[in-house]
Structure 1
Amino acid sequence: MNNTTLKAPACLFDKVKAHLEIIYPGLDADTLARKAITVFKPMHDSVDDSSCVSAIPLWSEKEIALITYGNSLVEEEKRPLRTLNRFLEEFTHDHFSIVHILPFFPYSSDDGFAVMDYYTVNPSLGDWADIRKISDRCRLMADLVVNHTSSRTRWFENFKKGRHPGKDYYVTVDPECDLSQVIRPRTTPLLREVATPDGPRYVWCTFSHDQVDLDFKNPEVLMEFLSIIRHYLDNGVQVFRLDAVAFLWKEACTTCLHLGQTHKIIKLMRTLIQAHDPRAIIITETNVPARENLSYFGIGDEAQMIYNFPLPPFLLNTMVTGNSKGITDWLKTMPDTMESTTYLNFIASHDGIGLRPVEDYFSRQEMTQLIDLMKAFGGRISTRALNDHKDNPYEINISLWDAMKGTIHGREDNFQIERFLCAHTIMLGLKGIPAIYIHSLLGTENDYERRENLQSNRAVNRHIWNYPDLCKKLINPDDHHHQVFFALCALLDKRKQQPAFHPDAGQIIFNINRKIVAFQRRPNKKSNAPVLLCIHNITDQAVTIPRKDLPEQWQRTGVDLILEKTVQLDTGLNLAPYQCMWITMTK
């Protein structure tokens, strides 16, 4: 295992104070630092502010995440969180080391992302005891919905009445203020007029008028969220997903994206969280162009993980076009990660397949072609407003299973399962930690009824399974849900056995031809584990790779770990449509 470690700061108090001095210049940073540190005591190996050093690995090749809602699986008269735990026990066993339960708090809209009470589990799902039971099984990832609250939270009710806490918790602006540069992923009006004892106020709503943005210029808001983080830690949360954090700090006449105070607040949170639990991790959810996304690593002192947002659209486009040039060129440009940082690789999630991360890579023709094909497969396109006042494509809303129905060449075909599994095999081999959405794990189709009932494009990929019905499908060998689930689980088992798939292991991208995605993974120098050649046919045609086109060191006899068969690389390589190989050389 790679010795990725965490080191506590030489002087915690000084480090926290330094962050706060930059976030809140002119305020009493000493008092704020003491208040913040007190929330997180006792500290790891130390109850004072002096330094302590830990050598605790953050991750290994065995790290694989499952993304799910608390109620993605339901049973009659059963708490959904208990049904989820039952599914983890009965079907997934130890395949997943991390489980991301999407917001499990009382909410008013946006499937949980308009939080009404951060300290309470939604009683329709279960309670904190149910959450802790899942956290006993694996590392629990939870959302810290940090940018905004529900308009029905107690804080906002107090805001409207001019009471504390809440009176000064929200961003208010003069509607005449210049907000023309603000970037946001919605087309609804940015400001909402609210009656208060002091007259009408205009509150900032990045996402919807039910999601009101918090004002982190007020340090009491930050202290409130530090208390929330501590509450999560006490209830088993180890991975903190900072939702929509890029929008956190607002300044007129700016884009209000990625501002310096936002980065400092994340660094402060990391400092305090790690002092309390050195194995805890921050992951930032920033669905923005790739270069902007990378900034959330800081200099190794900010998020330990960032979402690899370009991967879903790149991989989807690769699979439906049968052309690897785009993804190969992009992978070659991806910077290596610093110590104690890595990517969270995924293809699908509860949201759509974001298009903004590839705006600088896809031509207009490529984008239009992909969008038109996804519409043909039952998808919808969500848009966002830009300064051109047009609705611009923001994300594709479709289940990944249906997105893989066919290609641009023949539309729907008979290779849906093979194409779907090939995409996941590529993702599982890439540098980083892989995450699989539960509806990809289960091969769930588009839920048109839910989309229409909720009048939400995203609902098409947020199906709620009746657990007994799902179990019947999972035990039926002729059902595609069974075939997808067990094929993916077999791949997960094989991946976890290979140190070359450690998140910190080296990666080299090869440019063999446009029908192939190929890369090498090399374990840590201290490991005696084998190097792997990961090679994937991304077309619906058989492909032959001549020996001369293979990397020089891969022209002898090897073993394909997926099929567990010997392969004669010295005579070239033959791959069936969508066949994938993880090859290690024989001695």
Structure 2
Amino acid sequence: MAPSDPFRLLAPESLRRAFDDDRDAETFLLRLERYGPELIESLAAVYGDQTAALLPELLEVLLHAFHTRPADLKRLDEARLLRPDWLQQPGMIGYVAYADRFAGTLRGVQARVPYLEELGVTYLHLMPLLRPRPGENDGGYAVADYRAVRGDLGSMDDLSALAADLRGRGISLVLDLVLNHVAQEHEWAVKARAGDPAYRDYFHLFPDRAGPDAYERTLPEIFPDFAPGNFTWNEDAQGWVWTTFNTYQWDLNWANPAVLREFVDIILHLANRGVEVFRLDAIAFLWKRPGTDCQNQPEVHHLTRALRACARIAAPAVAFKAEAIVAPGQLIHYLGTGGHHGRVSDMAYHNSLMVQLWSSLASRDVRLFEEALRAFAPKPLSTTWGMYVRCHDDIGWAISDDDAARVGLSGPAHRHFLSDFYSGEYPGSFARGLVFQHNPQTGDRRISGSAASLAGLEAALAAGDPRQVDLAVRRLLLLHAVILGFGGVPLLYMGDELALLNDHTFADTPEHAPDNRWVHRPPMDWARVQAVAADPGTPEGRVNAGLRRLIAARQGLAHLHASVESRPVGSPDPCVLLLRRDHPLGVMLGVYNFSEHTVQFPAWALREHLGEHALDHVAGSAFTFGHAPVVLDPYRALWLTQAP
């Protein structure tokens, strides 16, 4: 099938008869002409001869979604096609929250939308809210029904109403789409256990241990503490089922084209409910290949490109964000390289940036940070990074041994140091975190903890030490200054704007007790929201006010358009990170002191990038770089641009 002739099995004239309106027909056919070749090329690369049978089924799904798409969303489609860089604008500010922990229900979230609007949020990611299995459900990532909302949160109509309200205020709704697996209670798994051969082929089922044992030789364990191994025997199915994450999460068989068709339908159904961005959960794990770790396989990128092409045809306002927590050399493929350049996901998490923030904070040394950023290949200009200080997950110390070696460090030793430091075991540590999933075989110890507790505020308040409280506040604002000044979509985790501490009562909830990541998922403290407004001098008030100043500065700074990359440049002081952005309006230089010391920074190191005069957009002050050094207070951040 020639990629230049999309859907040749159905002639354009027969397609026109599927439309009552000539304008709709032209719109659909133009998109089909534009994205059809990409779709067919990727499908053929994955499914080969099965593509011809799959195409008419996909076309039926696309036509139904297009016809049933609400008028206001069709208008949004056209607006986004005219502004394809909408996710790259400096005004994009993300906020990540659990709906129940933020405001109880979806209607409760809708009532709190003015708070988000006033904070400057334009992108709201509500953590898993589609109906999960009852009881333990991996924080909602064990989905039992993609077309229903958790009963305690409300209904799909409530979700649509929330999305419409957000859209009217310029806020995009973001939801998780779990692609790798479903809950064992999902209809597909129920039918598979009942013996339906069509649905058994939706999963990886083995009659004996021969297949699983062969795969296990090269597979890592994701949750060695409470989900060892990657396969689970199921008596009803009379087989070993692939369960990468938990025994109750069944991995899907994406080699079956019916699985792709199902997810195209799911994506477009949710898009027509008002979801604008899909976080593609566990995307790296989709394709299984013997003799590998079954992550980052080439088929994953073809599958994502095919899903994106379908969305572009029926609902082009939709964007994809890859949840690929992988090495930098692998991560760039999720944004697209070679023939996939800029055609896979629109956005990806910059996990390395987050890891290096905490690494530099502990070591007071940015040289590894610089080296790690240099290892990144340039991303496609049309894509963007999602940057974050903290998220709902644990922190895994993704420090490359090669990067570490280039700055004279041992990768394993540095990772060990970071685990000790952020669990509070290292002498002099300011952090209060918890070890998550210690793997004695590899020495891997990930860390749970809220941003404020990891940055030292919990320990400082417990000690009643005003200086340490001040330093903790400064650390939190420094971390957020980096993600807000990096270029991309900064993602603020719920409660970080209020410096919420660890929630040590998480274990009181039985389904949360085995998973200490709930320590950094505290409920939203609305009383504190009122308190910081009344008394901005408290630690949480200072964090809140400082963060709002940073957001306001970012929103007015064109240099932060995400098409421009931040790149590290040499710094004469190992405590100070310099990130340069070469924008058509001129150079922007981010200057970040990662130590509790006052640094006398040589003026020449700034003058060579900016000339003699510069403006700092964080504090609103002007600089003239002469012979005197620039004084950088502890944890100070500067966003410098060339003065007119």
Deviation string, structure 1 residues 293-339 (Cα, Å, up to 9, x no partner) = 12212222211211111111111111122111111222233222213
Code of the residue aligned with 2:92 in structure 1: it is E
Q: Determine which of 72, 75, 85 is the counterpart of 1:58.
A: 85
Instruction: Pick the aligned partner of 1:285 from 308, 323, 342.
Output: 323
Structure 1 residues 511 and 11: CA distance shift in structure 2, 3 A: closer
Say whether the 8 Å CA contact 1:100–1:141 is kept in structure 2.
Answer: yes
Work out which of the residue numbers 379, 383, 386 in structure 1 matches 2:437: 383
Q: Which moved more, 1:288-297 or 1:326-335?
A: 326-335
Task: Give the corresponding residue for 1:325.
Answer: 367
* Cα separation, partners in 2 of 1:426 and 1:54, compared to 1, 3 Å: closer
Alignment match of 1:19 (pick from 16, 37, 42): 42
Secondary structure class of the residue paired with 1:34? helix
Q: Among 445, 455, 479, which residue is 1:404 paired with?
A: 455
8 Å Cα contact 2:587-2:610 kept in structure 1: no
- Picking from 118, 130, 133, the partner of 2:146 is 118
Does 1:246 find its partner at 2:284? yes
Question: Structure 2: 5+ residue runs without aligned partners?
Answer: 1-29, 75-79, 405-410, 425-430
> What is the count of residue pairs matched by the alignment?
560
Sort the Cα spacing of 1:533 and 1:12 in 2 relative to 1 into closer, same or farther, 3 A: closer
Quote the residue 1:169 is aligned against. 202
Question: Does the C-alpha gap of structure 1 residues 91 and 233 become closer, same or farther in structure 2, counting only changes over 3 Å?
Answer: closer
Residue identity opposite 1:380 in structure 2: L
Q: Deviations over 1:545-581 (max 9, x none)?
A: 1223334143423222221122232233111111111
SS in 1 for 2:219: coil
The aligned residue for residue 519 of structure 1 is 579
- Provide the secondary structure at the position in 2 that maps to 1:258: coil
For residues 551 and 279 of structure 1, the distance between their equivalents in structure 2, rounded to whole angstroms, comes to 42
Query: Which aligned pairs between 1:104-115 and structure 2 lie closer than 5 A?
Result: 104-108=129-133, 109-115=137-143
Query: Partners in 1 of 2:342 and 2:445 — Cα distance?
Result: 30
Which has the larger displacement, 126-135 or 431-440?
126-135
C-alpha separation between the residues in 2 aligned to 1:531 and 1:463?
40
Quick one: which of 170, 177, 181 aligns to 1:148? 181
Aligned to 2:108: 83
**Separation in structure 2 between the aligned mates of residue 280 and residue 537 of structure 1, nearest angstrom:** 38
> Which of 549, 552, 564 in structure 2 is aligned with 1:505?
564
Contact kept in structure 2, 1:399 and 1:439, CA below 8 Å: no
Question: In the alignment, is the contact (CA less than 8 A) between 1:115 and 1:145 conserved in 2?
Answer: yes
C-alpha root-mean-square deviation of aligned residues, in Å? 2.8
Please give the residue correspondences for 1:334-483 in structure 2 after superposition, counting only pairs within 5 Å. Answer: 334-356=376-398, 358=400, 360-362=402-404, 363-376=411-424, 377-383=431-437, 390-393=441-444, 395-405=446-456, 413-414=468-469, 415-451=471-507, 453=509, 454=512, 455-465=514-524, 467-468=526-527, 470-472=529-531, 475-483=534-542
Q: Could you tell which deviates more after superposition, 235-244 or 328-337?
A: 328-337
In structure 2, distance between residues paired with 1:496 and 1:391? 43
CA distance in 1, matches of 2:402, 2:109: 39
Residues 282 and 303, structure 1, Cα contact 8 Å, conserved in 2: yes
Moved more, 397-406 or 359-368: 359-368
State the match for 1:534 in structure 2: 590
Q: How far apart in 2 are the matches of 1:31 and 1:12?
A: 19
SS class of match (2:235): strand
Q: Is the 8 A contact 1:105 1:121 kept in 2?
A: yes
Question: Structure 1 residue 68 and structure 2 residue 124: aligned?
Answer: no
Residues 1:568 and 2:624 are matched in the alignment = yes
Of 127-136 and 294-303, the range deviating more from structure 2: 127-136
Q: 1:217 to 1:394 in 2, by over 3 A?
A: farther
Cα 1:167/1:358, change in 2 over 3 Å: same
Question: 2:93–2:490: 8 Å Cα contact kept in structure 1?
Answer: yes
Give TM-score, length-normalised by structure 1.
0.89
Distance 2:56 2:544 in 1: 50
8 A contact 1:104–1:112 mirrored in 2: yes
The residue number in structure 1 matching 2:223 is: 186
> What is the aligned counterpart of 1:99 among 113, 124, 146?
124
* Higher mean C-alpha displacement, 571-580 vs 553-562: 553-562
Q: Give the CA deviation at 1:163.
A: 3.5
Contact 1:287 1:354 survives alignment (8 Å):
no
Q: Give TM-score scaled by structure 2 length.
A: 0.81
Work out whether residues 437 and 445 of structure 2, in 8 Å CA contact, stay in contact via their aligned partners in 1: yes
Higher helix share: 2
Report the CA distance shift for 1:483/1:553 in structure 2 as closer, same or farther (over 3 A): closer
1:13 to 1:563, Cα distance in 2 relative to 1, 3 A: closer
**2:267 paired with 1:235:** no
Q: In structure 2, do the counterparts of structure 1 residues 550 and 490 end up closer, same or farther at CA, with 3 Å as the change threshold?
A: closer
Distance 1:566 1:12, change over 3 A: closer
**More moved, 250-259 vs 347-356:** 250-259
- 1:580 maps to 637
Gaps of 5+ in 1: 1-6, 48-52
The alpha-carbon distance between structure 1 residues 253 and 534, as it changes in their structure 2 partners (threshold 3 A), is: closer
Distance 1:514 1:56 in 2: 40
Q: Choose which of 487, 500, 506 in structure 1 pairs with 2:546.
A: 487
Structure 1 residue 495: deviation in Å? Answer: 0.2
Query: Displacement of 1:439 after TM fit?
Result: 3.0
- Tell me, yes or no, if the aligned pair for 1:310 and 1:358 is still in contact at 8 Å: no
Offset of 1:264 from its aligned partner?
1.2
Q: Which residue of 2 aligns with 1:3?
A: none
